[in-house]
Amino acid sequence: TLSPEQAAARATALAMEPPDPYTPQFTPEGAITAATYFLELVPYVGATGDLDIWQNMSTEDCEFCNGVGSEAAEIHDAGGWTDPWVQEITPLEWWTDQEDPNRYVVRTQVTSEGYTEHPTPSAPSQQVDKFDHELLIQLYWSGNDWAVEALQITNDEDSE
Domains, the chain: 4-158 (3.10.450.50)
Kindly report, residue by residue over 138-150, the tens digit of the pLDDT: 999 999 999 999 9
Section 55-81 average pLDDT: 96
Kindly report, residue by residue over 129-139, the tens digit of the pLDDT: 999 999 999 99
Handedness of CA 72, 74, 75, 76 (dihedral sign): positive
Coil/strand/helix, residue 135:
strand
The pTM (predicted TM-score) of the whole model is 0.92
Using pLDDT thresholds of 50, 70 and 90, give the confidence band for residue 160. Answer: very low
Handedness of CA 62, 68, 69, 70 (dihedral sign): positive
Compute CA 83 distance to the chain's CA centroid, rounded to the nearest angstrom.
14
Using pLDDT thresholds of 50, 70 and 90, give the confidence band for residue 121. Answer: confident
Looking at residue 159, what is its pLDDT? 43
18 half-sphere exposure, CB direction, 13 A CA radius: 13
Q: Which residues contact 121 (CB under 8 A, 6 or more apart)?
A: 1, 2, 6, 79, 80
